[in-house]
């Protein structure tokens, strides 16, 4: 697939930033998986001492399989980098994340890193976030109430109530690694991502949103012809 070439090119560029003794956050999703596999290879080839902090159970399993040394975030504290994918990014480095359901750990790990390097193929580039439904992690208790409060807030601010779906997996609600539900909000165009993030996070029952604002340091955009462009 062309996008595999694009994702792989972005990962190849990012891997060059890895130096010995670094502590690195390991993202979640298909692009992050490509990066983690390449990381395992260079750790072995160059005998680098790297400690990885995974952002999900699935990344943890992959990294363990590949023999990457792992630690939990509390043990390492500050990370040199986190390398992660995104569902959308805009020209100001705002992101939508959470398509893979790992947004909460991803955001905490990203906030713990000196630099968040986003690896994305060019299809993720947008002028305004929002075409990709915004994932929001919510508490399971009273989830219908939380969803109606979110709807009410959005109806007031967007003019009409958006469609909100409770994410499913195998015909039952998807449960995140932190044992929460995820809702997906169909907004179309998010004009003020920073404000929306703050407002949604203030609604009772909301744990965290998939809006990453003022977090990413750069986006490595992988192209289908194998080239990359860096957005800083
Ligand atoms: C997971 C994420 C992923 O980074 C995002 O969904 C992009 O995934 P992919 O690289 O498979 O397109 O936020 O929660």
- What pLDDT was estimated at residue 3? 87
Sign of CA dihedral 90, 73, 69, 21: positive
Known catalytic residue at 88? no
Measure the CA–CA gap between 175 and 172, rounded to whole angstroms: 9
Residue 160 has pLDDT above 90, yes or no: no
Give the tens place of pLDDT for each residue, 174-230.
999 999 999 999 999 999 999 999 999 999 999 999 999 999 999 999 999 999 999
Q: Does the C-beta of 87 come closer than 6 Å to ligand 1?
A: yes
| Contact in structure between 33 and 9 (CB atoms under 8 Å) | no
Q: Does the C-beta of 133 come closer than 6 Å to ligand 1?
A: no
- What pLDDT was estimated at residue 159? 84
Q: Does the C-beta of 99 come closer than 6 Å to ligand 1?
A: yes
Give the tens place of pLDDT for each residue, 48-86.
999 999 999 999 999 999 999 999 999 999 999 999 999
pTM of the model: 0.97
């Amino acid at each position: 697939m062309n996008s595999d070439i694009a994702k792989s090119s972005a990962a190849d560029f990012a891997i060059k930033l890895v130096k010995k003794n670094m502590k690195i956050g390991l993202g979640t999703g298909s692009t992050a998986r490509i990066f983690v596999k390449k990381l395992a290879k260079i750790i072995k080839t160059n005998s680098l001492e790297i400690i990885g902090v995974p952002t999900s159970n699935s990344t943890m399993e992959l990294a363990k399989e590949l023999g990457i040394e792992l630690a939990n975030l509390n043990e390492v504290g500050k990370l040199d980098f986190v390398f992660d994918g995104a569902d959308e990014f805009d020209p100001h480095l705002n992101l939508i994340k959470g398509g893979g359901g790992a947004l909460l750990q991803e955001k905490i790990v990203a906030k713990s890193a000196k630099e968040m390097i986003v690896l994305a193929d060019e299809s993720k580039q947008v002028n305004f976030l929002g075409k990709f439904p915004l994932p929001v992690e919510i508490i399971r208790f009273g989830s219908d109430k939380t969803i109606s409060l979110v709807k009410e807030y959005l109806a007031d601010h967007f003019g009409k109530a958006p469609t909100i779906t409770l994410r499913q997996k195998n015909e039952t609600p998807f449960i995140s690694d932190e044992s929460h539900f995820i809702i997906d909000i169909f907004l179309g165009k998010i004009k003020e991502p920073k404000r929306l993030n703050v407002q949604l996070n203030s609604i009772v029952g909301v744990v965290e949103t998939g809006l990453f604002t003022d977090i990413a340091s750069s986006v490595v955009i992988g192209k289908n012809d194998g080239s990359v462009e860096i957005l800083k």
